[in-house]
Structure 1
Amino acid sequence: MKNCVIVSAVRTAIGSFNGSLASTSAIDLGATVIKAAIERAKIDSQHVDEVIMGNVLQAGLGQNPARQGTVKKRAGRNGVRIHGQ
């Protein structure tokens, strides 16, 4: 069994309806915080086996936003990405 370690947690900015983040997709926001979590942890992204990401309103995002965010930032290997609502 591998050791399980939470190395970092980051959240996105909170915007207002039709505010400055309105044109930024949830996937882009997620990719940004995934990158920030890896940088804060001071680890190589190739050591990331799993990303757990939550998203409240998923309409129009496609399947598994956690996977989309990790692929976008090339974070981790081919490990599991979990999306929780």
Structure 2
Amino acid sequence: MSRSVIVAGSRTAIGKLSGAFATVSAQELGGVAIKGALERAGVAPDTVDAVLMGQVIQAGQGQITARQAAVAGGIPMSVHATTINKVCLSGLQTLYLADLMIRAGEAAVVVAGGMESM
């Protein structure tokens, strides 16, 4: 069984409800964080096997918001993407699922996180 490790992290600035980021979509913010994490880790976007992103408030955001964020972060459309929608801890759930995928040998490089914009 493979071990999984977190090699880098990235986040955007924290805003407030209806504040400076109110007009920026969660997918755009997620894309910025994904791109930053890949750069910090020194991982090429085309080596990513899967993208898992949590998002609670998806209404009006379009389909497969994880894929939208992945593409915004430079990851190819061919990479598997899944959005987790839970009221609490959807981003943390993606880390758990990424760990399972890696330890099961289903993936070697997984981007996992969460995104919101209000």
> What range is the shorter-chain TM-score in?
0.7 to 0.9
TM-score normalised by L of structure 2? 0.60
Counterparts of 1:28-67 in structure 2, within 5 Å, are: 28-67=28-67
Q: Is the alpha carbon distance of 1:65 and 1:71 closer, same or farther for their aligned partners in structure 2, counting shifts above 3 Å?
A: same
Q: Which runs of 4+ in 1 moved over 3 A?
A: 2-13
Task: Name the count of aligned residue pairs.
Answer: 84
In structure 2, the gaps of 5 or more residues are: 86-118
TM-score normalised by L of structure 1? 0.80
Matched, 1:16 2:41: no
Is contact 1:51–1:81 with CA below 8 Å preserved after alignment? yes
Per-residue CA deviation, residues 50-72 of structure 1 (Å, 9 max, x unaligned), is: 11111111111111111011122
In 1: Cα distance, 2:45 partner to 2:5 partner = 14
In 2: Cα distance, 1:11 partner to 1:83 partner = 18
The alignment-based identity, stated in percent, is 42
Tell me the C-alpha RMSD between the 2 structures.
Answer: 2.2
| Structure with more relative contact order (C-alpha pairs < 8 Å, separation 6 or more) | 2
In 1: Cα distance, 2:16 partner to 2:52 partner = 25
In structure 1, the gaps of 5 or more residues are: none
